[in-house]
């Protein structure tokens, strides 16, 4: 009786931790500070971007939604979106419009600081305090979800002055004239003005993609025309905020 040979041959086993000469120079501080600070999905995304940029000696990498899902092993688009939004909100990564998709990179200006805060409590107590900052377009802004949520709550019920309406109308005219028509229709046509608090103007864009495009490409122009710092949010975030100019 002859032994039948299988029509399939097993692939040789992969030993991922034994790849001689196949390494990505992963920053040790990312393991020390970022990994304990974020959830698993966000950490997977940071690792993927690190592999696709530092690993290939590139400053950024263009990736579609499906490529990110496959690379990170995400089973749903919602999980993927949450990881991207969280990494952007925390300031770990940067995202720039690139054709019909986006290019992603590590935020080299991100700062994770541990400092101390002196709190009087019948004496003087040193309480550890963690501060996260990132540098984008030369401006340092704190990246914490709680801070953004608290800041947005200030805009609720805000009254928009006639002067602000005129400034926003001037801004819309500038964008319509100076931004390429396709880009304007895709990213800037639906911008809406929420209001201003303490020298910061709040503007809503249709989606997180539009928000990031406007923030990356137009924020300097918007600040110049309005004469204020600018916070760009999505329409979902703006739904509960009153006083939107349509």
Residues 38 and 88 in one domain: yes
Last residue of a domain, which of 78, 106, 134? 106
Supply the range of the domain harboring residue 80.
Answer: 22-106
DSSP string covering 146-194: HHHHHHHHHTTTPPPPHHHHHHHHHHHHHHHHHS-HHHIIIIITT-EEE
All residues at 6 or more sequence positions from 188 whose CB lies less than 8 Å from its CB, including other chains: 175, 179, 205, 210, 214, 218
In a domain, 134, yes or no: no
The three-state secondary structure class of 238 is helix
Q: What is the pLDDT of residue 4?
A: 52
In angstroms and rounded to an integer, the radius of gyration of the C-alpha atoms of the chain is 23
Tally of domains within the chain: 2
Q: What pLDDT does residue 73 have?
A: 95
Q: What is the CATH number of the domain that holds 177?
A: 3.30.300.180
222 and 176 assigned to the same domain: yes
Least Cα distance to 171 among 159, 184, 182, 158 occurs for 184
Q: Are residues 162 and 95 both part of a single domain?
A: no
* pLDDT on residue 52: 95
**6 found inside a domain:** no
Instruction: Please tell me whether residues 94 and 34 are part of one structural domain.
Output: yes
Whole-number average pLDDT of the chain: 75
Q: Are 228 and 196 in contact (CB under 8 A)?
A: yes
Query: Does residue 56 contact residue 100 with C-beta atoms inside 8 Å?
Result: no
Domain boundary among 76, 106, 136: 106
* Segments of the chain scoring below 70 in pLDDT: 1-9, 19-21, 113-159, 240-246
pLDDT at 141: 42
Residue 170 and residue 225 in contact, taking contact as beta carbons nearer than 8 Å: yes
Q: In 3D, which of 120, 116, 109, 148 has the Cα closest to residue 130?
A: 116
């Amino acid at each position: 009786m002859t032994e039948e040979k299988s029509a399939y041959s097993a692939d040789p086993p992969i030993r991922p931790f034994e790849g001689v000469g196949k390494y990505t120079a992963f920053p040790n501080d990312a393991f020390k500070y970022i990994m304990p600070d974020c959830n698993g999905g966000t950490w997977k995304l940071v690792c993927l971007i690190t592999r696709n940029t530092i690993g290939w000696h590139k400053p950024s990498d263009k990736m579609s939604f499906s490529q990110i899902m496959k690379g990170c092993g995400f089973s749903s688009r919602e999980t993927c979106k949450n990881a991207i939004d969280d990494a952007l909100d925390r300031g770990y990564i940067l995202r720039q419009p690139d054709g019909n998709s986006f290019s992603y990179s590590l935020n080299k200006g991100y700062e994770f600081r541990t400092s101390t805060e002196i709190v009087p409590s019948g004496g003087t107590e040193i309480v550890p305090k963690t501060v996260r900052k990132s540098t984008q377009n030369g401006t340092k802004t704190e990246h914490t979800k709680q801070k953004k949520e608290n800041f947005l709550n200030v805009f609720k019920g805000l009254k928009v002055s006639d002067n602000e309406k005129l400034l926003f109308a001037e801004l819309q005219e500038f964008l319509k004239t100076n931004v390429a028509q396709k880009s304007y229709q895709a990213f800037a046509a639906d911008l809406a003005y929420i209001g201003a608090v303490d020298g910061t103007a709040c503007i809503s864009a249709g989606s997180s993609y539009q928000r990031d495009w406007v923030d990356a490409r137009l924020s300097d122009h918007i600040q110049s025309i309005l004469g204020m710092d600018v916070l760009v949010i999505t329409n979902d975030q703006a739904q509960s905020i009153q006083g939107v100019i349509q």
